[in-house]
Amino acid sequence: MEGALILYLFVLFLAIFLGIELISKVPATLHTPLMSATNAIHGIVIVGTLLIAGTEVPALGSFLAFIAVVLGTLNVVGGFVVTDRMLNMFKKKGGR
């Protein structure tokens, strides 16, 4: 059990490091399409963490899965809100 926790923490910190490195090198013109793609990825994260939360895991695993579901959901909703606002900027003003 302790070895699994160390592995999970390693994967978490590796994902954080790679995420920061990759996102910091994205030009502004690619930000909206990239955000749309990450919304789809976070949808997969939400499904995976719901599956983990529904299994018999230690309390810490269930808590971390819950936090992952909350943060993934916030990211998906926020991404769709920002994408919608960006797309509204390109609509013509007026009745048409």
Burial 44-76 (b: 16+ CB within 10 A, else e): ebbeebeebbeeeeeeebeebbeebbeebeebb
The structure tokens listed for 10 are 């390693």
Domain assignment present for residue 19? The answer is no
Spell out, as residue ranges, where the chain has pLDDT lower than 70.
1, 28-29, 31-32, 35-36, 94-96
The total number of structural domains in the chain stands at 1
Domain assignment present for residue 11? The answer is no
Residues in the chain: 96
Angle between helix axes 59-88 and 31-53 (nearest 10 degrees) is: 150
Q: How far is Cα 64 from Cα 58, in angstroms, rounded to an integer?
A: 10
pLDDT the model gives residue 93: 75
Domain assignment present for residue 42? The answer is yes
Domain assignment present for residue 75? The answer is yes
Q: How far is Cα 56 from Cα 21, in angstroms, rounded to an integer?
A: 34
pLDDT the model gives residue 32: 66
